[in-house]
Amino acid sequence: MTSQPPDALTGTQFASRLARTLDIPEYAAREIVRGFSATLNDCLAQGQAVQIMGLGTFELHARPARAAWDVSRGQRIVQPARLAPRFRFARLAQQRLTRLERGQ
């Protein structure tokens, strides 16, 4: 399990913020977030990319097999090829982040 940065929002916190933005009950926002997550995972599991205009594209990326070193055994191993999730920001979202980084 990966640890999240101290300022990262949890799903519940994100749903709470979404509820305030859309002026809907928090339980409804939690269901929207859960539904989005489940649908996104289903689409990716079926090999479909998901493109959300203004946000970006979620897709699976094929990673080739590669040689690695097993430190505990002191020998070379081969890590098998696998699919890894990838998110690419939409151009507009990337431009907004760049402006934030520059303090504009």
Strand partners, 77: 68
Look at residue 2 in the predicted model and tell me its pLDDT.
Answer: 59
Name the E strands within the chain.
50-52, 56-63, 66-70, 75-79, 82-89
Q: What is the pLDDT, as a whole number, of residue 96?
A: 85
pLDDT at residue number 42: 96
Residue 63 has what pLDDT?
94
- This prediction has a pTM of 0.72
Which stretches in the chain have pLDDT values below 70? 1-5, 104
